[in-house]
Structure 1
Amino acid sequence: MKQGQIIRSFRQLTREALDPDQPIVTLFSGGLDSSYLLLRLKAAGFSDIHAVSVDIGEDESSEHKQRIADELGVRLHIIDGRQAFIDEFVRPAIAAQAVYLDTHPVSSTLSRPLIARLAVELAQQLGATAVVHTANRSQNTLRRLNGALALLGFAGHYGSPYDLDPVDREQKILELKEVGLDQMSERIVSGDSNLWCREFESGILDDPEDHAVPEHMYRWSAARPGLTAESLEVRFHEGVPVALDGVQLPLRELVAELNTRVGAYGLGRYSGLEHLDNGEKVLEIREMPAAWLLLRTYRHLETATLEAETMREKMHLEQLWVREALEGRWYGELRLALQSFIDTCAVRVTGTVRWQLTVGGAETRSIVADDPRYLRDREAWEEHSILAESAAYLTV
């Protein structure tokens, strides 16, 4: 795609650059940046603005988003992407052990390509000339969305005006207040949430050398006094979690239940640094109880069912998978090729792991593979192995 089609500043959202009477699609979360973008587009004279919000289990309510859209006079499209997110993005991420540099499971890396795809589909239906989002250059979302939009082959303009034209937070709050939207001043961090993860960054969490998340911001892993130890059994079939405690569940329901049950023990909190496009690092805080348990369960069953050499190669390729997804190349050929290898390995990963959960920790109590490579009686194996080797020697 031509460089001129990438939007990087508010100066490009003008009558000279885009036809204000043609439909334009914006990604809308209901937060400060996306609300301010709608305000600027209205002020620039755009008359057919379509704010698209993809529901992947975020904290912001649809009613909140609708109020902002109504106040600004734009059309809101809420697209239910929850099932697609779980099936097409979370499922392969579990099999890929998608953990960034052994620090934290990836999250927005999984959601951004889906959001981009659904936005492009809507833009094509509307005949929109542009898909605009609000990521800035201190957010990895910038290259993930732009990368996905490019690989999806969107023919119009796309990108974020905040890339080259950041706007001071207080200025955005002030201008939104002037049109009756005064609830934005309450935000003390930037949040991103979905069925797989709740994430916090920026604001009071900007400084890696001095940060603490207020306890009230956690939901799944908030402290619950009086908990006793709990046994929990997870079953996988061909690399996909399918049951809890012997009860078959769709993956989406299984993830939701684990987030609350595992989170109750204070498990699944992460803090870590991620690199930006030029190598600088930024702090990100997450709570991901279901991911915490499912990734560990998968690794146990994988180790029980795959050959050691296959495991070694897969563990090497996992970080290539993470890199490609992280850098905005979810729809690229290398990530897709890696997924083929990972899915081939996943076919063997069938079995059950029983955990004992306690406050702040978890231990396995049983690892059962349907087609295991492990020994259950070492002495019997040694005796059989020696006898077999002796018989072969005598035959020679």
Structure 2
Amino acid sequence: MARDVKKVVLAYSGGLDTSVILKWLQTTYGCEVVTFTADLGQGEELTPAREKALLLGIKPENIFIEDVREEFVRDYVFPMFRANALYEGQYLLGTSIARPLIAKKQIEIARRVGADAVSHGATGKGNDQVRFELGYYALEPEITVIAPWREWDLTSRTRLLEFAEAHQIPIAKDKRGEAPFSVDANLLHSSSEGKVLEDPAEDAPDYVYQRTLSPEAAPDVATLVEIGFQQGDAVSIDGELLSPATLLTRLNELGRANGIGRLDLVENRFVGMKSRGIYETPGGTILLAAHRGIESITLDRGAAHLKDELMPRYAELIYNGFWFAPEREMLQAAIDHSQRFVTGTVKVKLYKGNATVVGRESPYSLYNQDLVTFEEGAVAYDHRDAAGFIKLNALRLRTYGARARKIPD
């Protein structure tokens, strides 16, 4: 534990945990605390975070609250969706992709105010501690990192509440009882974990779901939406040009109303354990379907298949916290190169939990109807050429089969 810290930038939400951390940093390290609160579209009023920080003795000039929604979607979410990234084939990485942005902002503020340390409220069992700290060290190699959950003895909710009361930290009435599960949210998704969700054999209670109607309660009539793409990024809905954050917000609304984007997942954490989470990613689920739809007519087969091979590695890097690693940047360069002609529009039908592509068109389409038609096409395609193609591809199989016949029964 480094005791000579003079000023620390804390990732601060204004909730019980980070408020206790704020006071703990002051009392344990005797240092000046600077708070950073990011508006990532989590749907919470951030003014109380400022008021609470002031109440806990933070100077006004040391309170930073920033709306980063556009930057989040433009520079983090959209690059990730160009790759169609899914961790373990299902998870759209909503929590993972927010951490490098928060870490980057903390380091920027630390440089601005002359802080020599940064701190976060992630626990010692989860992935977020890794994601935050890998980001810190990548951007500022000599920074001091304080992770209270790995240092203090406040290991129960009772101890946290006792500390809060002893130091006159305001506690909302609804925060005094044990929360039935924990929630992390941003513009891309909400994540619910712990407590009532810890037994993977038990159905998640209905009250866990916050961002989507149940598919059963969704309308009985389908919704059609047309999404426009420019070089791999969504730029419009039904012909209306929208900023990245506004577009994702609109897709979230459409997804919510149609019960789209629910996921009940048992995943493998980077730290070695399995965990069960309930994820809701309504707009992202629609966006993924649409992006794959436009790629289906604009990407060459070889490029498309290579992208699908690279994707699990890319997704794992983001999940594990290596956003700023050179291998992620190398993969991003290849992915971005593949998106040069991924431009056009996709029609998606939304119906009771499903987002189904029903139409796609692009000025750069590689789809040639004359080639695939069952009728006589204008483009020359000699069916007899297939015989040689098949024979060449069968050569090694015939050789292998001939050898197999020599093996005695």
Aligned pairs for 1:14-29 (under 5 A) are 17-19=3-5, 22-29=6-13
In the alignment, structure 1 residue 286 sits paired with structure 2 residue 270: no
Q: Which residue identity is paired with 2:157?
A: R
1:272 to 1:225, Cα distance in 2 relative to 1, 3 A: closer
* CA displacement at 1:217 relative to structure 2: 4.5
* Deviation string, structure 1 residues 233-270 (Cα, Å, up to 9, x no partner): 11111101011111111121110001011210100111
Distance in 2, matches of 1:381 and 1:143, equals 59
Q: Which residue identity is paired with 2:109?
A: L
* CA displacement at 1:180 relative to structure 2: 4.5
Distance in 1, matches of 2:95 and 2:258, equals 25
* CA displacement at 1:175 relative to structure 2: 2.3
Q: TM-score, normalised by structure 2?
A: 0.85
Distance in 1, matches of 2:319 and 2:122, equals 15
Aligned counterpart, 1:93? 80
Aligned counterpart, 1:181? 170
Aligned pairs for 1:1-396 (under 5 A) are 12=1, 17-19=3-5, 22-44=6-28, 46-75=30-59, 76-163=63-150, 165=152, 167-178=155-166, 179-183=168-172, 184-186=175-177, 187-215=179-207, 217-221=209-213, 228-376=221-369, 378-380=373-375, 384-386=379-381
| Conserved? CA contact 1:237–1:350, under 8 Å | yes
Taking only aligned residues, the RMSD between alpha carbons, in angstroms, comes to 2.3
The answer for unaligned runs of 5 or more in structure 2 is 386-409
Q: Which residue identity is paired with 1:215?
A: Y
* CA displacement at 1:274 relative to structure 2: 2.8
Distance in 2, matches of 1:49 and 1:116, equals 16
* CA displacement at 1:189 relative to structure 2: 2.1
211-220 vs 284-293, greater mean Cα deviation: 211-220
* Deviation string, structure 1 residues 330-359 (Cα, Å, up to 9, x no partner): 111100000000001111211211122222
1:167 to 1:60, Cα distance in 2 relative to 1, 3 A: farther
Q: Which residue identity is paired with 1:384?
A: V
Distance in 2, matches of 1:324 and 1:362, equals 27
* CA displacement at 1:89 relative to structure 2: 0.1
Q: Which residue identity is paired with 1:147?
A: L
* Deviation string, structure 1 residues 127-185 (Cα, Å, up to 9, x no partner): 11210112112211011111111111242311412135462122112322441422232
Distance in 2, matches of 1:357 and 1:376, equals 27
| Conserved? CA contact 1:148–1:330, under 8 Å | yes
Q: Find the residue that maps to 2:263 and give its secondary structure.
A: strand
The total of aligned residue pairs comes to 374
* CA displacement at 1:302 relative to structure 2: 0.9
* Deviation string, structure 1 residues 85-108 (Cα, Å, up to 9, x no partner): 111101101101111111110112
177-186 vs 79-88, greater mean Cα deviation: 177-186
* CA displacement at 1:361 relative to structure 2: 2.3
The answer for unaligned runs of 5 or more in structure 1 is 1-11, 391-396
1:347 to 1:41, Cα distance in 2 relative to 1, 3 A: same
Distance in 1, matches of 2:270 and 2:146, equals 15
1:209 to 1:112, Cα distance in 2 relative to 1, 3 A: same
1:209 to 1:74, Cα distance in 2 relative to 1, 3 A: farther
Distance in 1, matches of 2:8 and 2:210, equals 36
* CA displacement at 1:203 relative to structure 2: 2.8
Distance in 1, matches of 2:20 and 2:304, equals 48
* Deviation string, structure 1 residues 1-24 (Cα, Å, up to 9, x no partner): xxxxxxxxxxx26xxx224xx222
* CA displacement at 1:384 relative to structure 2: 3.4
Q: Which residue identity is paired with 1:150?
A: Y
Q: Which residue identity is paired with 1:89?
A: Y
* CA displacement at 1:367 relative to structure 2: 1.6
Q: Find the residue that maps to 1:367 and give its secondary structure.
A: strand
* CA displacement at 1:225 relative to structure 2: 5.9
Distance in 1, matches of 2:133 and 2:78, equals 23
| Conserved? CA contact 2:131–2:322, under 8 Å | yes
Q: Find the residue that maps to 1:41 and give its secondary structure.
A: helix
Distance in 2, matches of 1:205 and 1:174, equals 26
Q: Find the residue that maps to 2:195 and give its secondary structure.
A: coil
1:255 to 1:371, Cα distance in 2 relative to 1, 3 A: same
